[in-house]
Amino acid sequence: MQINKILVVGAGAMGSQIGMVCALAGYQVTIQDVAADMLAAARSQLTDRMDSSVVKGRRSRQDAEAALARLTFTTSLEAGAADVDFVIEAATEKLEVKRSIFAALGRAAPEHAILATNSSTLGSSKVAEETGRPQQVCNMHFFNPALVMKCVEVVRHGKTSPDTVDTTMKLARSLGKSPVLIDREIPGFVANRLMGAIRDEALRLYADGIASVSDIDTAAKTALGHPMGPFELMDLVGLDVSYLIRQATFEETQDPADLPHPALKELYEQGNYGRKTAHGWYRYDQSGTRIQ
């Protein structure tokens, strides 16, 4: 299937960057969000990112402006989906929200359009039947920051067609990504399960008083070669995201071991989400630079 136009649902950090990745690859992209202020913030942040990229010599001014020109923004899901070939949903990790979105997409998107979810925990089988076209539904999971990270997990469910998988894998490659095909749904998929094991052990070591947050991060970087420690990574992704992922995993498995760690829960309930709120495991200034 020829893909020309892509709709990204959700203008948060992930959605906006996914949209920019697609625009940089030459696709016409619409970013949709119910909140006009989120769309305005996304437009401003993406423009700033492209300006910074030009200043640093990573891309030409002409390429940056051309990519930005391929982006449009709308609060209307129906208008955004009307003539697209591929949809990537990047809304909040709440099943009821996603089901509502996919039901609307099933009605509004052209019959040929593939409908993918960027969810990192919820398998697409949970929303596929809402669309009336379950064979054209899968997970296309990007990693944060989507403009930088190469991995994309493509996850099929029991009714996903081979054509849908093939098209989604080809799209990921055309974006400059390295897609990983996951043949069976499992909470957390592959990469997050690997990272989750490290994160959970880091939380245990911290809670048991074995080592400090900063020393655990240092060990991960200097002994294991990780570019960021587990606590730094949680702050970057957002502690709210980490909390909701754990909560969604528990709702899927009903295993108490999958509940958010008490230390993570405490920060989440305090509204300390990491870099985005200037306070998480570490403290940050307004530019996002760590100060403590």
What percent of the chain stands above pLDDT 70? 100
pLDDT score at 253: 85
Q: What average pLDDT does this structure show over 145-169?
A: 97
Q: Determine which helix (DSSP H) or strand (DSSP E) holds 233, and give its type and residue range.
A: helix 230-237
Is the pLDDT confidence value at 78 over 80? yes
How confident is the prediction for the chain on average, in pLDDT? Answer: 95
Q: Is 120 a catalytic residue?
A: yes
CATH code for 191-277?
A: 1.10.1040.10
Q: Which residue has the higher pLDDT, 93 or 95?
A: 95
Q: Is 153 a catalytic residue?
A: yes
Q: Determine which helix (DSSP H) or strand (DSSP E) holds 270, and give its type and residue range.
A: helix 262-270
Q: What is the pTM of this model?
A: 0.83
Q: What average pLDDT does this structure show over 33-62?
A: 97
- According to DSSP, the residues that pair with 104 across neighbouring strands are none
Q: What is the pLDDT of residues 247-290, one digit of tens each?
A: 888 888 899 998 999 999 999 999 999 999 999 999 999 888 99
Predicted confidence band at 106 (pLDDT cuts at 50, 70, 90)? Answer: very high
Structure tokens at 35: 């909140």
Could you give the CA distance from residue 29 to residue 61 in angstroms, rounded to a whole number? 19
Is the pLDDT confidence value at 96 over 80? yes
Is the pLDDT confidence value at 292 over 80? no
Q: Are 154 and 169 in contact (CB under 8 A)?
A: yes
Nearest CA to 178 among 159, 198, 154?
Answer: 154
Q: What average pLDDT does this structure show over 208-237?
A: 96
Is the pLDDT confidence value at 207 over 90? yes
Per annotation, catalytic residue among 153, 185, 232, 252: 153
Is the pLDDT confidence value at 213 over 90? yes
CB-count burial class (<10 Å; 0-12, 13-18, 19+) for 175: buried
Cβ density class 223-256: b for 16+ within 10 Å, e for less: eeebeebbbbbbbbbbbbbbbbbbbbbbebeeee
Predicted confidence band at 116 (pLDDT cuts at 50, 70, 90)? Answer: very high
Per annotation, catalytic residue among 118, 119, 139, 192: 192
pLDDT score at 147: 96
Q: Is 157 a catalytic residue?
A: no
Q: What is the pLDDT of residues 158-177, one digit of tens each?
A: 999 999 999 999 999 999 99
Structure tokens at 211: 């080592």
pLDDT score at 251: 85
pLDDT score at 225: 96
Q: What is the pLDDT of residues 3-17, one digit of tens each?
A: 999 999 999 999 999
Domain extents in the chain: 5-182, 191-277
DSSP alpha helix (H) spans, the chain:
13-24, 36-55, 61-69, 77-81, 95-108, 125-131, 162-174, 191-207, 213-222, 230-237, 239-253, 262-270
pLDDT score at 30: 98
pLDDT score at 143: 93
pLDDT score at 120: 86
Q: Is 261 a catalytic residue?
A: no
Structure tokens at 69: 């020109």
Strands 71-74 and 86-89: unpaired
Is the pLDDT confidence value at 27 over 90? yes
Is the pLDDT confidence value at 245 over 90? no
Per annotation, catalytic residue among 89, 119, 125, 141: 141
Could you give the CA distance from residue 268 to residue 11 in angstroms, rounded to a whole number? 22
Per annotation, catalytic residue among 120, 124, 125, 242: 120
> Which of 36-50, 52-66, 243-257 is predicted with the least confidence, judged by mean pLDDT?
243-257
Given this structure, which CATH class describes domain 5-182?
alpha beta
Predicted confidence band at 189 (pLDDT cuts at 50, 70, 90)? Answer: very high
